[in-house]
Structure formats: C-alpha cells, structure tokens
Amino acid sequence: MTALRPLASSPARFSAPVGNILQIRPRVRTAILLPSGCRFSAAHPNSMETVVRTLAAPLADQDVRIFCCEGAEDHGLPGVEALPSRGPERLRLLADRLRTFRPEVIEHHQQVRQAVAIRALVPQAAHLLYRHNALKAPRHWIDRWRYQNRYAAMDGFIFVSEAERAAFARAFPELADRARSAPNPIDATAWLAPPEQKQPLVAFAGRAMPEKGVDVLCAALPAVLDRHPDWRAVLMLNDWDQHAGWAAPHVAALGRYGSRVTVLKSAPLAEVRRQMRLAAIALTPSTWAEPFGLTAVEAHAAGAALISSGRGGLREASGPHALYVDEVTPGSLARAMEHLIRHPLERIELARAAQAYVLETHSPVERANGLLRIRQAAALARRRRGAGEEKSPTRTPGWKVR
C-alpha cells in the first residue's frame, strides 16, 4: 500500500503499521454531521450510522468530530457531540460548535437543506454532501433549477456506489466532476460464520416497505416451506412502526406456518447478526435501485448464500457472488430458493466465495483509505481556492482526487 503524502499545511502523525511499513499521513480536521433524528446509538443504529461507526476505527489517527442528536448514551466513541433533534436553536447551536471546532472539511450526511444552510454559516470549510441514497432527479426545468442551485453550493459529493455517482452525473452533468463514490465498508468480525455449518433457514433483513420486496418474498415463501418442511424462515423487518399498515397483511399470510416463520420487528443489531449467522440462504429482493446494499454485504460476511435482484448498487456489493434474479416475482424467488436448497454444495461454494470477496473488497481499512483521499483532496482544493479568492472572489468551486 502506497503511503499518502502529507498536505503542506496539515500536521502529520503516525498511523497504524501496515505490514512492516509505518505509514505517515496528514490529519484532515473533519466534522461529520448526521441528520436530524440520528442519535448514533451503538445498540440501535441505522445503516448510515453503522457506516460512520465502521469507518471510525481505521481513521482513528484523524481529527474527527461527529455531531448527532440527543437521546443515546451509548455512542461508544470519542469526539461525539449531541445536539437537540429539532427546534429553532439547533442550527445556530450547530454552527457555533462548528466554528469552535474549525474543521477543514464538513461532511454532511443526507440532509441537503441543512448542508446548504451550514455552508452559508461556516464558509471557511470544504463542504461535502455524503449521500447514502439517491438525490432527487429533476422532473422538469423548475426542479432542475432549484436542485442545481442547492447542489452548486457544495464543494463535492460522495455516493455509496458507482451506480449512484453515475446517476447523479447523468442528472447533473455540470456537477459531475465534483462527485465521487465511496462504497460502504463492513467490520465483518461479528458477522463471520462458517458457510458449511448452517441451519435450514431463509433470512431477510431490511425495512418493512414495498421497495425492499417484502410482499413478493412473503408470496414466494409458501411454495418453499410447503415443499421442504425441515426449512424455516426469519423476517427481520426494520422501521416496523412506520410501515406496519402496509407490511402486516403480507406477513400475516405466513401465520399458518407457526414457529417455522419468525418475524422480528425492528430487532437490535445483535439479534440480526445472530439470525444471519444461522441462515443458509439470505435474500435482498429489492424492487428499486438500491444505493449500495449493506444488508447484502452483511449476509455475505455471515456466510449465507445470497439471492439478489441486483438492482442499483447491489451488484457492486456482491460482485459475481450472488444468485441474481432477472425479475422480482414470487415465482423467480421461489425458484432461486429451491435451486439453492436442492444443490447444497453449490450453495456452500457460493457463500464461501462471497465471504472471501467481502473480507477483501469491503474491508474498513480499504474503504476508509478511499474516503480519506476524498477528504484530503477537498481540503487541499478549499485551501487553494481560498488563496485564489483573495485575488479573484468569483472563482468557481471545484476539486479533484489526485
């Protein structure tokens, strides 16, 4: 691994050894702004918080401050500041805290309007909009004008897959050179289980909403469960309270199987891990273009053979190591599950190859190094632009990873 060269004005410090090489890399003072409602709880994280937490350890040598909302006492990391979730004082208080911290880079996770407001209040930093799902595509010229004005305030954009970065570039070609991809990492340690030692269990983990294909999976399972009475299923449905009205009727249709179908509603992450480590087969039957597919990566790490729709970033998450279905229908999912049940050696080999792929490709160190390069480039471009603005205040923002 090539050591990164320190930027001229950034103090360098030693990072952890890699092999026999002790790397020296610059610190980039970075503020991470989680959206309103994110408490950064270790016990009940959302997928965005999981990504931020997983990247924290490999970047422990960096000067980072995480701003989240009040309500959790189990952050478990240094440099975490909690603010009120809402209210007229939130924005002012956040800006005051940022001015005290004096970051080189402010990483805005998800919320565009808050990012634009903070950009105006703290203009000295480089502002990166880090999106864990797609930005809205313009429907007409008014949308395009409004979105373009908002997005133009950002110095750069980070997307969790190349698919999302490319979609943004197509929608906003004028801003394409500011967009980068930083795929999600996974700390696989707590997920790992031998693919050869699995229970006859089919697992799904995801939000209880139509886009995740929950209804299609519920319609597909009876054919499999009726044909294979020794097999069971577990549905781990997040955000149940928000989507129960839609999801409950689909889940209720599986009630006739009794204890053979377990439904966990907004279960803690530890329980999701435990169930996935038991499962021989997992599914990500999303009917929309997933930004990345962290649940797919988690299933791979846990040693489950994965059936995937391959939509959006799901193919980047799994590479060639999933059984992809061309269409998300009850029939296609049932046939895919049937194939893996009837071919156990193929199922184990698929799971084993996927697990190795995830450990190499989606490792926290690999992904953190990529994100650090983006932060470094943004900080350097901001310093250069600041120097240029003293001579020409109208200089247009822009940055590139070198």
The dihedral through the CA atoms of 364, 367, 369, 375 has a sign that is negative
Q: What is the pLDDT of residue 390?
A: 52
Contact predicate 369/57, CB 8 Å: no
Has domain 188-361 been given CATH number 3.40.50.2000? Answer: yes
Q: Name the residue with higher pLDDT: 36 or 137.
A: 36
Residue 185 reports pLDDT greater than 60: yes
In 3D space, the residue among 264, 159, 124 whose CA is nearest the CA of residue 205 turns out to be 264
Contact predicate 351/203, CB 8 Å: no
pTM: 0.79
Q: What is the pLDDT of residue 100?
A: 96
Q: What is the pLDDT of residue 391?
A: 53
For 323-348, what is the mean pLDDT? Answer: 98
Tokens representing 237 are 């449905």
d(C-alpha 154, C-alpha 166), whole Å: 18
Q: Name the residue with higher pLDDT: 338 or 15.
A: 338
Residue 2 reports pLDDT greater than 60: no
pLDDT tens profile 280-307: 999 999 999 999 999 999 999 999 999 9
In 3D space, the residue among 205, 354, 233, 164 whose CA is nearest the CA of residue 294 turns out to be 205
Q: Give, in order, the Cα–Cα distances in Å from 289 to each of 109, 268, 309.
A: 20, 26, 9
Q: What is the pLDDT of residue 14?
A: 31
Q: What is the pLDDT of residue 26?
A: 85
Q: Name the residue with higher pLDDT: 399 or 173.
A: 173
In 3D space, the residue among 265, 335, 336 whose CA is nearest the CA of residue 306 turns out to be 336
For 177-206, what is the mean pLDDT? Answer: 96
For 355-376, what is the mean pLDDT? Answer: 95
Q: What is the pLDDT of residue 10?
A: 36
Asked whether this chain's domains 12-185+363-391 and 188-361 adopt the same fold, the reply is yes
Q: Which CATH number fits domain 12-185+363-391: 2.60.40.10, 3.20.20.70, 3.40.50.10490, 3.40.50.2000?
A: 3.40.50.2000
Q: State CA 380 to chain mean position distance.
A: 26
For 78-94, what is the mean pLDDT? Answer: 88
Residue 244 reports pLDDT greater than 50: yes
Q: Name the residue with higher pLDDT: 385 or 127.
A: 127
Q: What is the mean pLDDT of the chain?
A: 89
Residue 327 reports pLDDT greater than 60: yes
Contact predicate 83/90, CB 8 Å: yes
Contact predicate 209/248, CB 8 Å: no
Q: What is the pLDDT of residue 25?
A: 77
Residue 397 reports pLDDT greater than 70: no
In 3D space, the residue among 123, 104, 126 whose CA is nearest the CA of residue 11 turns out to be 104
pLDDT tens profile 100-115: 999 999 999 999 999 9
Tokens representing 34 are 């989680």
In 3D space, the residue among 46, 78, 74, 85 whose CA is nearest the CA of residue 59 turns out to be 78
Which sequence spans correspond to the domains of the chain? 12-185+363-391, 188-361
Write a three-state SS string for 97-152: HHHHHCCCEEEEECCHHHHHHHHHHCCCCEEEEEECCCCCCCCCHHHHHHHHHHHH
Residue 15 reports pLDDT greater than 60: no
User: CB pairs under 8 A, 24+ apart, for 319-322?
Assistant: 319/354, 319/357, 319/361, 321/350, 321/353, 321/354, 321/357, 322/296, 322/350, 322/354
What contacts 43, CB < 8 A, 6 or more positions away? 74, 268, 269, 270
